[in-house]
Structure 1
């Protein structure tokens, strides 16, 4: 056989085996027997050995796996993997549509996509080759699972030649088809192994397996739908979908371009029925503004894009018996009632517990002992009780009242005016509050202390080694006692103490967030750190001084005043200061290129050839200041394409000068066009 004939035969066999694999693993509809498949695979293996120059890493012979990963590496996302806001009814969609129109006018389109019930995945390609696969994780960073993802037949490991960029990221959803799920689940039952509750859990559990040869045995699929590049290649999301499909990616064919919300609602109604005919699970529809320029103008909240929303199909409802109500105490002291239920199957999952939210919800439901209740999942992680079946209520059954004392420490519960939740005020002596605050402090989004996890915090607390956050920084003086802890060897102790020492370098905003003050999330902590510069200024601030800071309202201000007004909290901060933690914001030095814009204020709105960040840097490097909202104090509005009509109208009403990015550059004597 000539090399040319061998190359052609290898390509033919590879294509046939890939299709047979897809039929078997994904569609669960094999077209040939296992024996016939193995014979074809043997033939391909022999040819590749004889002609190794034609061996491709994407070959079916290379898909068996076998590399065992000891642990998954944590990788930070280049672009955050944000979640979408959810809606469950038509009116909320119409409200979303009105918000879009108010911001960017009426000239726009939507793209509707099926919302796959799977595991979000980010893939990075370099020179057409799959370089890295990372899970969503916490949205900021996730686990690298490249070896496992390479076993998924529908994810290309090497793209054929095309017009794709040298490096790009593409995101999608890893899932399992229903027939494959049923077949594999039955195999687990036959082997005496526990069955998975649903295909999503099976897919998620598979991706996290340490042995990729085991992953290869489980049929996973993946739809790709989100392209991310350094330089924008397309003007619309719809264009990018068509492009990535032409590059060889598995893109769902059911997406639709819609001109208005009426078309969107028609698409939703169509798939509310047709979804049961699919070979995989979907739980809703994703609606996105099509234009990338308009997406940029609409922007993001801290958690989700303003230009997209997820419509969830109506949740399944089941009926079951209420066994009892128990209570959980959170790190902020909030006491949450939980219904313990007779186990019942709901949306593919066995439900044993449901949240009751707060005392008001218990009053609304008017729960009695032994009630039969209706339960829905409705997008909640923990299902919730919708109503009681009064026809099944036992005559004379006693009412279940919300408790008046903390179930953990016995302290009388308190409720602040205007709030639904009751709180345990004993934050210095209530175990779940103490351990919860410390678990929050060491967490990835706060101090990110390596070598110290939630279970270790519980263990250290029960042994009496820690009662306050500051006690963590005194553990190095308790080496002897630490060595007596169960399953806590010398290496574990060293890693923990190294992680604690390293955390002293975390910036002020992370420390402030880590303190766990009510209503102080990541974004608010960052704003407070920027505004007040250090902890002493923040602790001394009055209500009036606090509410002047960006995004700080009265509720947050009162929470800060109450927290810093507690002597124990101030003592704790002094101990943390003495331990060496950062309580002063880092001052970024801005080297002025000129003072051409000194004393002038700007807002940037719309899309430009340059990025907004680049324009912001230009303004600040020449002495100007960026404001957060349009007011009479604003000197200039820098307007680009697709600017929101509301901003434009307000600027015109206040007689604020409106300039282009070219005019801005002329003000500092810079060339009008960005460098190529």
Structure 2
């Protein structure tokens, strides 16, 4: 693992920014392995812990939330081989809870959003099946399409394959079937069927599957539906997607309706009156887990009332009305064979444990995090030690303890290097920080290559044919010394064609791909620069806020030259904040960065950002909410404004278009009056929203 792994409590802002960048990239890589190749490299528990660490850092440093935050993303793009299938309603993922406190916090967030006081929230609990999510569309009661989840917005059309599953009705029976309805569920393979399949595969000399989830995914995503038909797959139905009408008022009634129509619903699902019931249900399911005929990794809890679900809506990639409460981690012991120092894109030196391979909950683990040099010293981890390894938790996989009585004679304390292992430059640890960083900067090959790889990554320029391997080769051979050189590669097409593994066709295709990417949206351009703390989400926020490259470039220069006022305006953008504002200003304060941006702008066409909503009075308006709102919670008001194309900020300035005042509005209302900014009451705001909708 290439990870800058420090306990969340010990992170400085700089550490957090770097770690969020690493987590975004690593989680995206695992998403592709899981959703595109059906070949996950880590367990679900390990994956969940990566997301959990990301969420914990974002909660502690909300101003650092990246545009490409995993909290805003689900799955991966569909792979080739199947037709694409667009979901009418996105198939999003769930946030996770790992303890009663996590679940209580989830409940409290929902109550605050809804403005509830003493009323209890009822839930439905369903065991979380470890399988493959699918969406089934019925028209006139007949199955017309089956699709995988894919990236949440678009999956693969596997209609022919799902028709082979006995647990999926080809026609809905019973009353109340809407004209068109999308039904979602989880396709899985039982433990017994998995063992039987692997035995047959081994006898035939074919691929052995690592676990039932992989077997189910691989079986459903066969290009030949006859292979799927010969594999024993099952499905539990549980969710409602797009529908011409909603036939029920609670999730529990929905599960009952699914059974009436011919679907199988998990028989362990239960209606729960409150959070205390949910905690008791969690313990009960956990006790049954090992004896169940299928794999589960937790329980999904959903607010039962569908009207409340609609009010709660979604945040990022996940609904506010549901959560997956996961089971605890598993542990194992193994021997620490060595400690490798890896260097990330930001120059951070990361210690990674090289382990004697050990199976932890069905996954073969060879590496684990050692966090930082302080953590190594605190746990007194030495090469040759027998260590306790945990595959879930704050960081995954991680060493949680040393088995002192098994320490070999002659084991010595580990000495952390004070020079970069790549370029040899001094590695310094700033006062108050726990991470050492290479001072080589752009002269350090590891950092430069990683920055170029980020520049051409999928969320950035996404240049087909210019992946990590090619970037490293071209950089090593002097074809690429910096980002601008990428766009000069077509001038070297003949030379590239003569390279080993290339040819005229592949070189010509690369040139075409590069020219196609010389026109790029502003958000992608900002993200590609690799500015600390600026991921996909924040890049999109900035692009929407400034609209054009020229405006953004000028405002960033103002933030450097004018100083605090310009930075304050930048930091008042909701989702950006003062920390990111400082990072942007610092980036543009470096002349080499400015030179790179301007050189890129000279060879690119950077297109303006489209507003979130193409029409309406509120599109592009800057709005501030202040005081206590009586009919809306603050998150609902913010979501309402952004849906109509407005931008919500936290401070009033000359750039503010509208201030909505609630009860006890104070200094912001006075500031708005002084500046002559339009002021609306909450009732007037609702009228304006109704007129703009």
TM-score bracket for this pair, using the shorter chain length = 0.7 to 0.9
SS in 1 for 2:411: coil
In structure 1, C-alpha distance between the alignment counterparts of 2:345 and 2:542, rounded to whole Å: 22
Of structures 1 and 2, the one with the larger relative CO (CA 8 A, separation 6+) is 2
Could you tell me which runs of 5 or more consecutive residues in structure 2 were left unpaired when the two chains were aligned: 1-78, 670-678
Q: Shift in Å at residue 166 of structure 1?
A: 3.8
Q: Say which of 106, 109, 121 aligns to 1:96.
A: 106
Q: Shift in Å at residue 111 of structure 1?
A: 1.8
Aligned equivalent of 2:121: 108
In structure 1, C-alpha distance between the alignment counterparts of 2:291 and 2:601, rounded to whole Å: 61
Aligned equivalent of 2:92: 82
Task: Flag the 1:636–1:189 CA change in 2: closer, same or farther, 3 A.
Answer: same
1:177 aligned onto 2:190? yes
1:492 aligned onto 2:506? yes
TM-score for both structures, normalised by structure 2 = 0.73
1:314 aligned onto 2:328? yes
SS in 2 for 1:582: strand
Aligned equivalent of 2:591: 567
1:326-345 equivalence runs, <5 A: 326-345=340-359
Tell whether the 8 Å contact from 2:178 to 2:243 is kept in structure 1 after alignment: no
Q: Shift in Å at residue 131 of structure 1?
A: 4.3
Task: Flag the 1:133–1:322 CA change in 2: closer, same or farther, 3 A.
Answer: farther
In structure 1, C-alpha distance between the alignment counterparts of 2:602 and 2:652, rounded to whole Å: 43
Q: Shift in Å at residue 512 of structure 1?
A: 0.7
Could you tell me which runs of 5 or more consecutive residues in structure 1 were left unpaired when the two chains were aligned: 1-68, 638-646
In structure 2, C-alpha distance between the alignment counterparts of 1:154 and 1:522, rounded to whole Å: 39
CA RMSD of aligned residues (A): 4.0
Aligned equivalent of 2:214: 201
Task: Flag the 1:395–1:614 CA change in 2: closer, same or farther, 3 A.
Answer: closer
Q: Shift in Å at residue 320 of structure 1?
A: 1.0
1:255-654 equivalence runs, <5 A: 255-378=269-392, 382-415=396-429, 419-533=433-547, 534=549, 535-540=552-557, 541=559, 542=563, 543-582=567-606, 584-586=608-610, 627=648
> Residues 391-422 of structure 1: CA distance to partner in whole angstroms, max 9, x if unpaired?
21123311223333333322333445665443
SS in 2 for 1:113: strand
In structure 1, C-alpha distance between the alignment counterparts of 2:687 and 2:569, rounded to whole Å: 37
In structure 2, C-alpha distance between the alignment counterparts of 1:494 and 1:162, rounded to whole Å: 59
In structure 1, C-alpha distance between the alignment counterparts of 2:236 and 2:383, rounded to whole Å: 47
Task: Flag the 1:258–1:517 CA change in 2: closer, same or farther, 3 A.
Answer: same
Q: Shift in Å at residue 264 of structure 1?
A: 0.4
Tell whether the 8 Å contact from 2:520 to 2:607 is kept in structure 1 after alignment: no
SS in 2 for 1:180: helix
Task: Flag the 1:235–1:403 CA change in 2: closer, same or farther, 3 A.
Answer: farther
Q: Shift in Å at residue 508 of structure 1?
A: 0.4
Worse overlay, 325-334 or 170-179? 325-334
In structure 2, C-alpha distance between the alignment counterparts of 1:277 and 1:82, rounded to whole Å: 29
> Residues 459-479 of structure 1: CA distance to partner in whole angstroms, max 9, x if unpaired?
433443223232222221111
Task: Flag the 1:592–1:196 CA change in 2: closer, same or farther, 3 A.
Answer: closer
Tell whether the 8 Å contact from 1:224 to 1:251 is kept in structure 2 after alignment: yes
In structure 2, C-alpha distance between the alignment counterparts of 1:175 and 1:387, rounded to whole Å: 36
Aligned length: 583
Q: Shift in Å at residue 325 of structure 1?
A: 1.5
Q: Shift in Å at residue 220 of structure 1?
A: 2.4
Worse overlay, 172-181 or 551-560? 551-560
TM-score for both structures, normalised by structure 1 = 0.75
> Residues 528-583 of structure 1: CA distance to partner in whole angstroms, max 9, x if unpaired?
22333433134312433432222223332232233222333222212221222316
Q: Shift in Å at residue 516 of structure 1?
A: 1.8
1:239 aligned onto 2:256? no
Tell whether the 8 Å contact from 1:577 to 1:583 is kept in structure 2 after alignment: no
Higher Cα radius of gyration: 1
In structure 2, C-alpha distance between the alignment counterparts of 1:368 and 1:469, rounded to whole Å: 41
Tell whether the 8 Å contact from 2:369 to 2:398 is kept in structure 1 after alignment: yes
Q: Shift in Å at residue 97 of structure 1?
A: 2.3
Aligned equivalent of 1:59: none
Q: Shift in Å at residue 255 of structure 1?
A: 1.4
In structure 1, C-alpha distance between the alignment counterparts of 2:157 and 2:591, rounded to whole Å: 45
